[in-house]
Every structure is written in structure tokens, then in C-alpha cells.
Structure 1
């Protein structure tokens, strides 16, 4: 174990000294080390304060981008994803390992095979090492792109190219020959097969196909969300057919109301309907409780006020009428 200079000096100082001159020299040495420690602590505090001020002003982030952050800001084209957390996108969430991104060229190639219909979705999933749910998502995405082109709406090609470069998504098409590179395509498929997320996706899909469990990320989200005990998020997946059916039902309900004379007639009928004895008793109790809790509106004795407070809610009249019926009976 290596010794520092100060440790050696203290060891030497702790040994029995026979010469007073030697003891004075040792005391001066120890004092010099103490002064050096105080200076180091002072310099350390000053450095920390300076660093804090630098980061607060924004200069620290700029300096970080010029040094360590340069490899995250400037990425070589075709380079694999260079996450801040190493092999995971978020350093504080190491369990989150999403599947490798697919380039737009790869998605177009996959969609073309789906449209051909020569292979099933399961066969394509096995060939490209992509989950069946992901293939279905690509099919929907390409349908949206086709609709955008039909309406002459712009597509964000620049954003797509930039994100593919940052995420390290490689295209299976050779840009020189503009043809599919079989070697590159096979290499990317092998890399997706070795990724840990691929095995998780396959396991979830196999469980879903075998009707085991809730289906995970590949089951019916609408059916899973309706089950008791499932916490719903702000954004929920809604099945398109279910949304369409709900809209048709709402339209039919509105037409039914219109055919019966409108909303005003229905409200009037509901108000005119006789209330049950139980409901009337609960309403009377609520009125009495409100009167007890509300501040008194009676003027002090000997004070005459030109104002008189009258209950116009009708609840008091109902209660008084029922009390009169009881007395007559």
C-alpha cells in the first residue's frame, strides 16, 4: 500500500525522538502540512462555488458540449445509438430497453411484403425479427402516409432523417446502387434478434396467442383497460371500431330525443314525475341539516327591519305540508 508524503511524515513524527532539534523540525513539518490542508480546503470551496456559478449561468452546459458532450451532439451517420446511460436510453431506468429503431427504408420494405400477401405476418415477423404488433403498427403508419400524400400534406423527411441518424437506424438499401444490400439486411436482422427486447416481445406474443395472461403490450388495450383494478392513464388506446360504434349510438340517442319533442319536454316530464317517499324523506333531512348549520337570519330582539327572509326553494312548503297531513291523520 503506497504511503503519501504526509503519512510518512506523521509516521516519522510519531517515532520516539532523541534530539530536541529533530522534534522542532517535526513540529514545523506538521504545521506546514496543516496550513497546506487549510489552503486546499479553501481552494476546493472556491472551486465548487465557481463551478456552481458557471452551471447556473449556462456556461457549464456550453463547456460540456465542447468537451464530453461533443460525442453526443455530433454523431457519425450510421453510427449505433450512443445513449447517455450506456446500453439504455435513460441512465436512471436501466430496465427500460426499447427495441432497436427501424429506418423508413426498412419499414417501406416490410410494408411492401405485407401488401404482396405472399407471406403471413407471422412469417414476416420471423424473417425480419420484428414483432407482429410492430408490423401492424407499420401498416397503419404507411396508410397514414399514403393519405397525407393523397391530400398533398407535407411529410417531415428532414426530422425523420435526423432522428434516424441520432438513433443509429441503418437502412438496408445501398445508396450507391439504390438496391437492397442483402448482407446489411441480414446483419441488422441478426442484431435485432440478439437484442433483449426481441425475446420479451416474442414471449408476450406467444402468451397472447395461447390465451395466457392479459396479453401484455400486444393484447386488446381497450379490453385490458376496462378490467377492474387497472389504473388508466391520461391517454388511452381506443379501438377504432369501438369509437365508431359509440358515435353511432350517440347519434341515434340524439335523434330519438328529437323525435320525442326535444330535450325540454323530457326535462319537464322528469320534473313532473312523483318522487318516492324515501327520496322526499332524505331531502327533508338535508334541508333541516342545512338550516341548523347556516347562520341565523333573525334580527335581534327590539330591532325592526324592513326586510323579511323568505324560503323560495319550496322545500320548506313540502315539509310543512307533510307535517299538516300527519296532524290531520
Structure 2
């Protein structure tokens, strides 16, 4: 086995009204450096990664092992060195990136030759919904839908002429807690209104009408009204971002991170302005990743997605 590296980007889901169906790939990364070894060994190189007791208790190893067993294979021993710039429990898809990494680790070690759809189906089964995993897998802005026969369809855009700013508080918010405040049912009229907002948002965003897209993303009815009280300084951040000329600000995934859509070329300066107003936050412009998960051997790319 030759050494290789797996790189998986972070993701933001929902983006306002695109609840459980819309994901955006962001330029923060989970990276696995893998090399042949006499026994299994996993090392962490980032304080953003969670503690673990032993390699066989590690989440990424468990995903890889389950994937290998699904195809009747066993993982060969190796040393995996893991680095990450994705904060945990902040609504930036840290769990989804780990799932994708584990599936690809098994794919490479066991020579499974999984297709893109194979990986997406496996990852969705683990995560429960495809929005984050699809964005991390293929990159860009991805709209997903699961049909009655459990097939997952998606469409990807790369051409968003905007800057993205992440507003990350120094507090965690577990997805389970964030989901617990959501209603189990909506009336038909309410659901129709929420869906119409999402429909117009997608059309505006992909047509580069960012002012209209911003208006629609800030009028979500599916999740933001119920999660707003869980997000530190939710109203203040949205008001401050709007005053600086941004298109719109939404909860990233389940939160507590907020995602700001800014005019192209102004993201860095606006992030600096917001940082001055919210000094306890980590606020910065991040790139939109358009490649998604990739695997490299040395300097040569050996697989993509």
C-alpha cells in the first residue's frame, strides 16, 4: 500500500429555507494522512479533534470498518494521522466530513472502487440526511432530494459570485438539542409558504440575484424561527451584518455558527468590521470549496470525490 492523503471540506447546511436539502462546501478541512504500518495507529494533530481512547473506538475508524464489512472486506493495518480546521458542534459539518473520510479510507484501503453515488448513499445512511455529506463529497452548492425508492438525486453549482463569512461563537450546540426545538408537523398552508420561499431563494441564488436571495434566506419558516433563541446574539449579528451591506445572514446547519453572504471582494473587510463588534467570536472569510473530497498520493491526485 502506498501512502495517501484524504482531504474532506467542511459544509454548511440549510442556508435558510433549504432545510435538510441544501449544502455548501467550505474551505475548512479534515485531513487524513495514511501510510502502511505493522498495526493500527491513529494520531491527532489538531486541538479541534475530539479525544479518543483507542483506535478501534475512533469514529472514523468505525465508519471505515463498517464500510469494509459491508462489502465483505477487512481493513489492513495502517497509521492514520488526522488534522482538522473544522470546529466541532458548530454547525459546520464536522460529523459529515468524518463520515466521508471513513468511507473513503475503506474505499482506498480495500480497493472497493466505490462510485460517487455509492459513497453518497453510504454517507446519507450514516448521517440521516444528504445535505452536508453531499456538499463535502462533491463541493460547491448542492441541492439534494431523496425520492420514494430511496434514490438520492443532487444538483451542484460552482458559480456563486459572493463571499462567505463564518461567525463562530466559542460555544457548542449539539444537533440533537437544536433539532429538539423543531415542530413535528406543519399545516399545509404553512408548509406551502415555507416551500415557496425556498423555491424562490434557490432560483434567485442560482440566477445571481443575491439581494432577492438574501431576502428569502432571512425569511425561512422551516427552522430558523424555532432555533433563533438557541443561537448567541442571533438578532444582533443579523442586524450588524445587514448594516454593513451584506445580502443575508443565516444559521449554519444546526448552529450556533452564523453564515453571512457578502458582496464579492468585500468579505475580508466586512469580516474585520464584524470581528470588531463581536470580539469573542471567531469571524473570518472562508472560500467556497468547489472540488469536494479528494485523495492524493504524494503530489499526484489519485482520486476525486
- Normalising by the smaller structure, the TM-score range is under 0.3
After TM superposition, the score normalised by the length of structure 2 is 0.18
After TM superposition, the score normalised by the length of structure 1 is 0.17
Structure with bigger strand share is 2
User: Based on CA coordinates, which of the two structures has the bigger radius of gyration?
Assistant: 1
Structure with bigger helix share is 1
Bigger relative contact order, structure 1 or 2 (CA pairs below 8 A, ≥6 apart): 2
